[in-house]
Structure 1
Amino acid sequence: MAADHRSICKFEATTNENYVRLRNSLATTVAKTVNEWVKRKKAQRKRELNDLNEYLRIPHQPEDDLELVQGSRLSGTCEWIVQKESYLAWRDLAANAPTILWINGKPATGKSVLAGYIITQLQQRKLDCSYYFFKHGEKSKSRLINCLRSLALQMGRQNEQVRRILSDLRKESAQLDSVSERGIWREIFVSAIFRNNKDLHYWVIDGLDECESSEVFIESFLGKLDPATNLRVLITARDMPKIKAAFLGLGGHRSCELPISTPDTLQDIKTVINEKSNSLTVKDDELRAALLEKVLEKSQGSSCGLSWS
């Protein structure tokens, strides 16, 4: 800069050549420093996530199951859930609202697709949400221990503090292969994540009735969780006696039941029927309408109960 030690920081106007040169130099330095910091943070996050993947070793990626149910949902379906007071109270943290919501229904009433819709809604609201889809027909997807590993990994991906907590645990114990589901719940969730992280988090767990240890999860894990834990849990499952008894054991202050009724899904079924009717070769409008009405009546609130015979 063309200035002596007395005038180096004195400028007549912002158009002054020395001022412009100094401003641009500072801006360049700041931008470079910020970019380097961002690169370091991204590299650090990538290393931490790789470490968590190695530590938790989940057998499948949760995003695959979510994409599957999202692809199955027709536009306009599942929206009835946002009219349910019990769901809104759970989602919006209403005063004294139970932190656990059990949505139940008969087989093939669209519970998994509904779970996917709820997950999407929570994500669109920028809320931290982890999820799991149980599947009885797939051994690895019916085990509670894999659900817990997946939930922990997802929480670590979304929350920096949780990621640090899990990284510290990994340093203390490099492998979880010999740790039971109760051990993971106690060591990773109760003693580490929930104790040291107070941020709000949502869990959406679909098909708990297809889990080998459904009662353990409800009674021994959720039932004994500190009520002050900042966690909202939504579970979908069939209305089975053992599961109903487990939820009743939690008490109305901890959990709430939301049954899926035929009126709830009626419009969804109509949407599915109309979509399928596009493949019909019936040209007469009255005959088509009568056929659709017959199919709707036979469906009995189940999308899988639809038959064109």
Structure 2
Amino acid sequence: MTIKNAHAKTCKWLLNNSEYLDWLDGNKLGEHHGFLWINGNPGTGKSTLMKFASANARETMKDKVVISFFFNARGEGLEKSTIGTYRSLLLQLLERIPALQYVFNSLGLSTLSISTNHQWSLESLKMLLEQAIQSLGESSVVCFIDALDECEERQIRDMISFFKHVSELAVSAGIKFQVCFSSRHYPHITIQKGLDLVLERQEVTIRTLQTISTVS
């Protein structure tokens, strides 16, 4: 991942942002189904913010399992496809929650096949990830997926549809599964239940506060 490190103060505003705090609030999962979408124009620092958010979550949310995937249009095939996304998320879940091994065992599969050159089909990976999430029990998972616009649009629309389905099942079962996406404003994708955080609006707010502070 070639995202330059952000200065600590650059992204700290996120930790006090109302949309971000609502997204993390487990009592509000029924309202937004665990979705937060960070979007903004090119150059507004989406990937830097996502890197900060995922690192901060790993450091401070010790009661949660934090997983992530960063799309890279200039990378290898698995770095810019949803097959790569599902494989990476599954592997991270299995490393953090070994009990999920039984999901593979029930299908006669080996977890080693996730990290090797086994030719997985998209539907098989989606089925495994859905079963893994449905089997989380008391575990709480926070997922960050960055730069959706660096993947082919058809794949992204299918992935969003998949996560909407999984999140509905999770909310119904009382499972805590939250996903934060980031992308440019295109592709235009609407999630009926979810939170939006538009970076251009935040920049205006931050600049206004800085001006007020300087004047006072």
TM-score range, shorter chain: 0.7 to 0.9
Contact 1:161–1:197 (8 Å) recurs in 2 = no
Counterpart check, 1:145 vs 2:78: no
What is the aligned partner in structure 2 of residue 103 from structure 1? 38
Q: After superposition, what is the alpha-carbon deviation per residue over 1:131-170, rounded to whole angstroms, capped at 9, x for unaligned?
A: 00001122421111011111111111112322x235525x
Indicate the SS of the match to 1:72: coil
What is the aligned partner in structure 2 of residue 208 from structure 1? 148
Mapped to 2, the partners of 1:197 and 1:130 lie a distance apart of 14
- Give, in angstroms, the shift of residue 264 of structure 1: 5.3
Amino acid paired to 2:134: R
Larger radius of gyration between Structure 1 and Structure 2:
1
Amino acid paired to 1:216: D
Q: For residues 170-249 of structure 1, what are the structure 2 equivalents within 5 Å?
A: 172-174=108-110, 175=113, 177-186=118-127, 188-190=128-130, 192-198=131-137, 199-212=139-152, 213-219=155-161, 221-225=162-166, 226=169, 227-228=171-172, 229-240=175-186, 243-244=187-188, 246=189, 248=190
What is the aligned partner in structure 1 of residue 71 from structure 2? 134
Mapped to 1, the partners of 2:49 and 2:31 lie a distance apart of 21
Amino acid paired to 2:81: R
Amino acid paired to 1:132: F
Amino acid paired to 2:150: E
Mapped to 2, the partners of 1:85 and 1:97 lie a distance apart of 14
Indicate the SS of the match to 1:137: coil
Q: For residues 70-109 of structure 1, what are the structure 2 equivalents within 5 Å?
A: 72-95=5-28, 96-98=30-32, 99-109=34-44
Mapped to 1, the partners of 2:73 and 2:103 lie a distance apart of 29
* TM-score, length of structure 2 as denominator length: 0.78
CA RMSD, Structure 1 to Structure 2 (Å): 2.2
- Give, in angstroms, the shift of residue 217 of structure 1: 0.6
* Structure number with higher relative contact order (C-alpha < 8 Å, ≥ 6 residues apart): 2
Mapped to 2, the partners of 1:182 and 1:102 lie a distance apart of 24
Indicate the SS of the match to 1:150: helix
Amino acid paired to 1:150: S
Q: Which runs of 4+ in 1 moved over 4 A?
A: 264-267
CA gap of 1:78–1:202, structure 2 versus 1, over 3 A, is same
Q: How many residues align?
A: 188
What is the aligned partner in structure 2 of residue 16 from structure 1? none
Indicate the SS of the match to 2:185: coil
Structure 2 unaligned spans of 5+: 209-216
Indicate the SS of the match to 1:232: strand
- Give, in angstroms, the shift of residue 97 of structure 1: 3.8
CA gap of 1:138–1:265, structure 2 versus 1, over 3 A, is farther
Q: After superposition, what is the alpha-carbon deviation per residue over 1:1-51, rounded to whole angstroms, capped at 9, x for unaligned?
A: xxxxxxxxxxxxxxxxxxxxxxxxxxxxxxxxxxxxxxxxxxxxxxxxxxx
Mapped to 2, the partners of 1:179 and 1:218 lie a distance apart of 20
Amino acid paired to 1:209: D
- Give, in angstroms, the shift of residue 194 of structure 1: 2.1
Amino acid paired to 1:146: G
Structure 1 unaligned spans of 5+: 1-64, 268-309
Contact 2:26–2:176 (8 Å) recurs in 1 = no
- Give, in angstroms, the shift of residue 265 of structure 1: 6.3
Amino acid paired to 1:115: M
Amino acid paired to 1:102: W
